[in-house]
C-alpha cells in the first residue's frame, strides 16, 4: 500500500468509476483528471488517497480528508471512499486500507474516523461491524447540491450587498 502520486490520477478515476458502478451511481460521476490532480496534488491538497496493490495489481483505494470536532477540539478523518476490486476481496485489502487511514488519523492527533455506507450494502456494513464500528443511527446525513446549493449561496451574495444601517 502506498500514498497516491500525481501519476495515479487516471488510475484513481478508473477506480472511482468502478465504485460508482458498484454503488449504482455512475450517473453522478463527473470527476476528471485535471480536477482530481488539482484536488489531491495541487498547491492546497484537499484530500489524501491510498492505493492498495496485490500481486502487483491495483486492488483498491481509500480517499479521505481532515475534519474537525468542535466538541473535542481535535481533528478527525472523514473516509470518503473505501473500495476493493471484487477479485481482491477477502484477502485483507480493505482492512489494510482502513487500518492505514486509522493510523493516519491518530498520527494527526485525531480522535474520530467516520464514514457513511449505503444502507443496502450488507457486504460493507458487515465488514465495518466486524471491525467494531458503530452505526450512528441518531444522525441523519444531509446534502445541498446543484440548484439548491446555488440558490442558498446566492442568498449570501444578496445579503452581503444589502445596505447596513
Joined grid coordinates for residue 60: 483498491
End-to-end CA distance of the chain: 59
Q: How far apart are CA 39 and CA 46, in angstroms?
A: 5
The number of helices, as runs of H, and strands, as runs of E, in the chain is 5, 5
Which of 22, 61, 64, 128 does the annotation list as catalytic? 128
Q: Among this protein's residues, is 22 annotated catalytic?
A: no
**Angle at which helices 9-22 and 33-41 pack, to 10 degrees?**
110
> Among candidates 46, 126, 38, 116, which has minimal Cα distance to 82?
116
Please give the positions annotated as active site: 128
Amino acid at each position: 500500500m502506498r500514498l497516491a502520486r500525481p501519476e495515479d490520477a487516471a488510475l484513481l478515476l478508473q477506480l472511482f468509476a468502478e465504485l460508482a458502478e458498484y454503488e449504482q451511481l455512475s450517473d453522478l460521476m463527473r470527476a476528471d483528471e485535471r480536477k482530481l490532480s488539482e484536488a489531491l496534488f495541487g498547491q492546497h491538497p484537499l484530500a489524501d488517497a491510498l492505493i492498495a496493490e496485490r500481486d502487483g495489481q491495483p486492488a483498491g483505494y481509500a480517499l479521505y480528508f481532515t475534519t474537525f470536532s468542535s466538541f473535542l477540539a481535535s481533528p478527525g478523518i472523514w473516509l470518503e471512499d473505501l473500495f476493493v476490486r471484487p477479485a481482491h476481496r477477502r484477502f485483507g485489502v480493505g482492512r489494510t486500507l482502513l487500518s492505514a487511514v486509522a493510523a493516519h488519523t491518530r498520527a494527526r492527533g485525531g480522535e474520530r474516523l467516520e464514514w457513511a455506507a449505503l444502507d443496502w450494502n450488507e457486504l460493507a456494513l458487515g465488514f465495518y461491524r466486524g471491525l467494531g464500528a458503530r452505526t450512528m443511527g441518531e444522525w441523519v446525513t444531509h446534502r445541498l447540491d446543484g440548484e439548491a446549493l446555488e440558490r442558498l449561496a446566492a442568498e449570501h451574495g444578496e445579503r452581503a450587498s444589502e445596505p447596513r444601517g
